[in-house]
Structure 1
Amino acid sequence: MNESANADVIVVGAGLAGLSCAVRLERSGLSVLLLESSDGVGGRVRSDRLDGFTLDRGFQVLLTAYPEAQRTLDYQALDLHTFIPGAMVRVGGSFHRVTDPRRRPADLAAALRAPVGSFADKFRVGRLRARVERGSLEQIFERPETTTIEALRKAGFSAEMIERFMRPFLSGVFLERGLETSSRMFEFVFRMFAAGDAALPARGMGAISDQLAGCLTEGALRTGARVAAVDGSGVVLSSGERLTAGAVVVATDGVSAAGLLDGLVEPASRSVTCLYFAAERPPIEEPILVLNGEEDGPVNNLCVPSQVAGDYAPSGASLISATVIGNPANGDDRLANDVRVQLAKWFGAQVRGWRHLRTYRIRHALPAQPPGNERARGVQFGPGLYVCGDHRETASIEGSLISARRAAEAVIEDLRADEWPAART
């Protein structure tokens, strides 16, 4: 490291991409300064504590089949708790269980009887699964591409199956009701759900970020440091302070990155709203996702995180998470009331006793990924300047981690080529 520099590398943003990139850089022997504008790490993958409850900043899960996540994270230390593979679908005023018959064969009869698509639709799911399991993940992203909705129709799924199951399920994944997301992304996600579990860490999704932060050397992380400008030799904070380095990695979300990097096109993004309620008892007993197959009311999907991982709620209480796609115009109080009205139809009078804990509105929750969207975008943005995040890869935890690795590898290669002293250790 140049003696006048603050670090070999400055990483801007302590979300998953920034944390993972910083850890990789340190492990290569480089000194790192990780700057975060907020008061803690995690970005969109962060959990808050309120009255003994763990509130993830928006409903999200870790798909355990993600290859990069398997290589990067310590699953055992995260103490993962898994969902039942499938969903309870609200149709015609009742709940109907639709689960993966290959992993839960005892549920096959109930799944076939459920008024969620025809018998033929259920077998089309099996054909789709066989298709997405063929070949490598890279080959999925080389296949002919269309929108998700067109891919479902081309696969022969009935309108009933699409509207009652596929649309609410995939809307909760892609955060858009039109299913205009690339069919390649759909096949990738379908394969990940089929190959592994959807899981929550015992201490919340923020535990993933905390685990990565715990791998950094003392003093490498600086919170409350908002970056106003960047170049290949350092950054300027909003306070006016100049920090220098041999390389700078911008690891913020795509919208923030576009504000820092001239020429980086701001990606379109999807928004989501998540409401949390406290209850004395759970509205459902099982660790399973609940889908709105009726197209009635604001809630697209619901779950009880404390039925998945008990530490999400204090003893004797339950935590309910309700997801609304987008960012509704009505205020938080009005939205919470609308959600209560819908859920009272689902679960009855008990909903009146639920206590509204908090509403999260995540404006830029996911980058949009329509057909034609380049997946593995470049991570070098100029001499000494790099960028990573889920807007450079698949819009997912996996994409964040992959882009972080790619950026770290590029930095390491370039700095070693320049024979930086710290890089030769």
Structure 2
Amino acid sequence: MDADVIVIGGGLAGLACALRLQREGLRPLVLEAADRAGGRIATDERDGFLLDRGFQVLQTWYPAAQRLLDYEALDLRSFYPGALVRIGDAFHRVSDIWRRPAQLPEMLVSPVGSLGDKLRLLALRRRALRGDLADLYARPERSAPALLGELGFSERIQTRFFRPFFAGVFFEPELEVSSRAFEFVFRAFALGDTALPAGGMAQIPLQLASRLAPETLRTGQRVERLEADGVRLADGTRLRARATVLATDGAAAAGLLGREPTATRGTTCFYFAAPEAPFAGPYLVLNATGEGPINSLLCPSNLSAHYAPAGQALVCVNVFGARHNPDALETAVRRQLRDWYGEHVDVWQRLAVYRLPQALPVQHAGVTAPQGPMRVGEQLWVCGELAAPPSIHWALASGDDTGADLSRGLRTGSSPGPRPRTAA
């Protein structure tokens, strides 16, 4: 027997599962096809800059993240609770007045929405924070725009704030996502900080991986086929275990299970090196003009000096979709940036462009919270994207819960898991 449990996938769900198994005295073996752990969460180093692969942030409210991560060691750097919104030919600051009450006068005159819209934000906040997560995911479901319309929000604030801000989270330009998914994200923004680890987002999976016993994580190990008592790797190696956990991204998991992959949304992310940041402060910049390709912009080096060499700034620009010609898209992006920030943009140097066609699963109607670990075979379990909604919280929670359930069964010698749910 090569291990007690083989965990396929070294992303957050797989790492959380393996850590729980290890804490319970079992021997997990994590097989990761890539050359590093982390799944979608990765940070590349280039010319002294740290480049996260796409727009990724940590919401510090996430309950599973609070349990499983050491925030102090991650040295988290928080964004301003709000955003800079481009409306017409000017930027306007939008603030969370529950966190920044001194900004109430500024918010009252902001052109982002009417006074009634701003008062309705209180009702939306109360709604999103009411009850626990089980209650939130049991509410009647509709699209996020339908919910906002029912609550009385004007088209103006939907266009100038909700769509550019939350559509950038889901990679859905029209914010056509489940109202449950929308309320979950709204709750996260309301109750915690939006942050980056000082050394890049990859520090999150690296922190988890560092807690595993030596030889537990094997990178460059692609699983070709699932077998009754283990797996077969692409090089023909056969590995056996008492149970197997499938913790890959949705597309890879569907392939191993012989199913159709889940639909995804894509994004394109440009990184530029600049002599100085185009704005001061830890802000997210949103495009509410209705024109140009840019959805959002940020300067990670404004939050942490580790993101850029001394005397330089890192600028990150995010665009919906991943089917663009990068060079043609860059021309359009630079044209819009020049309108916003002037000729200084001309000297910015492109460091990298990430086209991520499978950046995030779609979150249309049918979003539910996990009702327990998911078993799809006698000794085969699934955690991560096929078992839970996409987010850092649900990846960690799904992996940890699956590891806990498996460990109970394996320690007693019984079939793991009390009444496991079956995959649809």
Q: TM exceeds 0.5?
A: yes
**Structure-to-structure mapping, 1:140-179, within 5 angstroms:** 140-179=136-175
Residue 330 of structure 1: how far off its partner (Å): 2.9
The aligned counterpart of 2:396 is: 401
Structure 2 residue 31 is matched with structure 1 residue 35: yes
Question: Counterpart of 2:342 in 1: which secondary structure?
Answer: helix
Are positions 1:343 and 2:337 aligned together? Answer: yes
Q: Partner of 1:118 in structure 2?
A: 114
Q: Confirm whether residue 410 of structure 1 aligns to residue 402 of structure 2.
A: no
> By how many angstroms is 1:374 displaced?
3.7
210, 213, 216: which one aligns with 1:220: 216
Identify the residue that residue 271 of structure 2 maps to in structure 1: 276
How big is each residue's C-alpha offset from its partner over 1:241-299, in whole Å with a ceiling of 9 and x where there is no partner? 1111111111100111000013x552211111111111010011010110000111111
CA distance in 2, matches of 1:37, 1:148: 36
Paired residues for 1:1-400 under 5 Å: 5-262=1-258, 264-327=259-322, 329-376=323-370, 379-400=374-395
Question: Distance between the aligned counterparts of 2:133 and 2:352, measured in 1?
Answer: 38
Cα distance between partner residues in 1 of 2:228 and 2:398: 19
Report Cα offsets for 1:313-334 as digits up to 9, x if no partner: 111111111111121x332222
AA at the equivalent of 2:10: A
Instruction: Give 1:419 deviation, angstroms.
Output: 6.8
Deviates more, 1:107-116 or 1:67-76: 107-116
- Aligned residues of 1:270 and 1:364 also touching (Cα < 8 A): yes
1:68 and 1:402 in contact (8 A); partners too: yes
Indicate if the aligned counterparts of 1:278 and 1:357 stay in contact, CA closer than 8 A: yes
CA contact (8 A) 1:380 1:407 kept: no
Residue segments in structure 1 that go unaligned for 5+ positions in a row: 421-425
Q: Would you say the 8 A contact 2:181–2:367 is kept in 1? A: no
Question: 2:385 and 2:78 mapped to 1: Cα distance?
Answer: 24
| DSSP 3-state at the match of 1:390 | coil
| Contact 1:124/1:156 (<8 A) preserved | yes
* Secondary structure of residue in 2 paired with 1:391: coil
> What is the number of residues matched between the two proteins?
414
> 1:177-199 CA distances to partner (integer Å, 9 max, x unpaired)?
12221101111111110011000
1:335 aligned counterpart, secondary structure: helix
Q: Indicate the SS of the match to 2:386.
A: helix
Deviation at 1:131, TM superposition (A): 1.5
Q: TM-score, normalised by structure 1?
A: 0.95
Structure-2 separation of matches of 1:323 and 1:330: 13
Amino acid at match of 2:341: F
Root-mean-square deviation (Å) = 1.4
Cα distance in 1, alignment partners of residues 33 and 149 from structure 2: 44
Q: Shift of residue 417 of structure 1?
A: 3.0
Q: Give the letter for the 1:153 counterpart.
A: G
TM-fit CA distance, 1:123: 0.8
Question: TM-score w.r.t. structure 2 length?
Answer: 0.95
CA contact (8 A) 1:379 1:403 kept: no
Aligned-residue sequence identity (percent) comes to: 49
Looking at structure 2, the residues matched to 216 and 142 of structure 1 have their Cα atoms a distance apart, in angstroms, of 36
Structure 2 CA distance for aligned equivalents of residues 86 and 345 of structure 1: 23
Q: What SS does the corresponding residue of 1:283 show, helix, strand or coil?
A: coil
